[in-house]
């Protein structure tokens, strides 16, 4: 699943390829996307120029020059591919954006869970996002205040985009391992030191991520995620996986015992 660094990298690539280009045609190839934008609204995108591309949490905002916004989210498996309008469509192509210069951006998504919506100028809904996980201005003090109001375990809380935007299942486990915090710890029992360590750990794991395509995971170094039964990189205890709020959590039962 794409996490914040991968979405940020995808946004940068999209921005480089698309800003300043004029849309000739957007085609929605999958019913789940066709349900979201009516054919008339889709046709009316033709002639608009892409003015800016922005990431908020894991949402991608493609700003058109007239104020309309295409709002995209990769969910589990989406990605953008770049080519030309005449290219054969690949198997998992779900939408295409053709530009007047004959370049094409294709939304590919093997699971077809990703979304693209069109919002008229000034009508973007509240995305319900807390501070961005990659923002330097998000402080441990802010994180501590938010956590003090929550009784549930810390790991699922870190996936709540209202608490912090952009953190996903992989880097939540990675950050807790790095900060030596038990993923089951109730949020409101974390000490100020633990909150501070956690804030630093989140910054460190996001910084270490290379922002490569997430499908190319051979280049990503993970400390604990997807390492069930493999010795902990710190203490050599086998890493344990368990299901927490329906998602896999990986942790070291010795380093993160507290």
Residues classed as catalytic? 2-3, 58, 247
Query: Which stretch in 56-64, 99-107, 153-161, 227-235 sits in contact with Zn ion by CB under 5 A?
Result: 227-235
Bridge partners of residue 120, in order along the sequence: none
Cβ 233 to Zn ion shortest distance, Å: 7
Contacts of 185 (CB under 8 A, 6+ apart): 153, 154, 194, 258
Residue 239 binds Zn ion, judged by CB under 5 A: no
CA angle 162, 156, 129 (to 5 degrees): 10
Is residue 207 within a helix (H) or strand (E), and if so which, with residue range?
helix 192-208
Query: Which stretch in 106-114, 184-192, 213-221, 229-237 sits in contact with Zn ion by CB under 5 A?
Result: 229-237
Residue 255 binds Zn ion, judged by CB under 5 A: yes
For Zn ion, the closer of residues 147 and 255 by Cβ is: 255
Among 200, 234, 241, 248, which residue sits at the site for Zn ion (rule: CB under 5 A)? 234
For Zn ion, the closer of residues 214 and 250 by Cβ is: 250
57 and 129 in contact (C-beta within 8 Å)?
Answer: yes
164 and 158 in contact (C-beta within 8 Å)?
Answer: yes
Among 69, 108, 222, 252, which residue sits at the site for Zn ion (rule: CB under 5 A)? 252
Cβ 235 to Zn ion shortest distance, Å: 3
Buried b (16+ CB within 10 A) or exposed e, 10-30: bbebbbebbeebebbbbbbeb
Residue 18 binds Zn ion, judged by CB under 5 A: no
Number of residues that bind Zn ion (CB under 5 A): 7
Residue 28 binds Zn ion, judged by CB under 5 A: no
Among 235, 238, 245, 258, which residue sits at the site for Zn ion (rule: CB under 5 A)? 235
For Zn ion, the closer of residues 175 and 255 by Cβ is: 255
For Zn ion, the closer of residues 75 and 234 by Cβ is: 234
Rounded Cα gap, residues 194 and 181, in angstroms = 7
Residue 154 binds Zn ion, judged by CB under 5 A: no
Query: Which stretch in 68-76, 158-166, 195-203, 248-256 sits in contact with Zn ion by CB under 5 A?
Result: 248-256
Contacts of 34 (CB under 8 A, 6+ apart): 28
Residue 42 binds Zn ion, judged by CB under 5 A: no
Query: Which stretch in 52-60, 159-167, 192-200, 232-240 sits in contact with Zn ion by CB under 5 A?
Result: 232-240
Rounded Cα gap, residues 175 and 190, in angstroms = 14
For Zn ion, the closer of residues 133 and 181 by Cβ is: 181
Contacts of 94 (CB under 8 A, 6+ apart): 28, 29, 30, 32, 33, 78, 107, 108, 109, 112, 114
> By the criterion CB under 5 A, which residues form the site for Zn ion?
232, 234-235, 237, 252, 254-255
């Amino acid at each position: 699943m794409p996490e914040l660094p991968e979405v940020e990298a995808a946004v940068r690539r999209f921005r480089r390829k698309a800003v300043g280009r004029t849309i000739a045609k957007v085609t929605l190839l999958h019913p789940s996307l066709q349900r979201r934008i009516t054919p008339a609204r889709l046709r009316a995108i033709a002639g608009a120029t892409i003015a800016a591309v922005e990431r908020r949490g894991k949402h991608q905002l493609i700003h058109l020059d007239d104020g309309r916004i295409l709002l995209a989210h990769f969910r589990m498996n989406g990605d953008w591919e770049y080519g030309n309008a005449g290219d054969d469509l690949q198997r998992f192509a779900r939408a295409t954006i053709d530009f007047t210069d004959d370049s094409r951006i294709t939304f590919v998504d093997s699971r077809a869970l990703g979304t693209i919506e069109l919002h008229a100028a000034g009508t973007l809904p509240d995305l319900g996002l807390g501070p961005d996980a990659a923002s330097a201005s998000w402080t441990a003090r802010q994180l501590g205040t938010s956590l003090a109001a929550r009784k549930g375990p810390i790991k699922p809380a870190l996936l709540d985009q209202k608490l912090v935007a952009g953190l996903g299942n992989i880097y939540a486990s990675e950050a807790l391992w790095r900060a030596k915090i038990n993923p089951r710890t109730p949020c409101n029992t974390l000490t100020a030191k633990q909150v501070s360590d956690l804030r630093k750990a989140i910054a460190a794991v996001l910084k270490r991520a290379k922002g490569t395509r997430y499908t190319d995971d051979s280049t990503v170094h993970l400390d604990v995620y997807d390492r069930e039964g493999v010795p902990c990189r710190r203490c050599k205890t086998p890493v344990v996986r368990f299901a927490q709020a329906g998602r896999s959590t990986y942790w070291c039962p010795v380093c993160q015992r507290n």
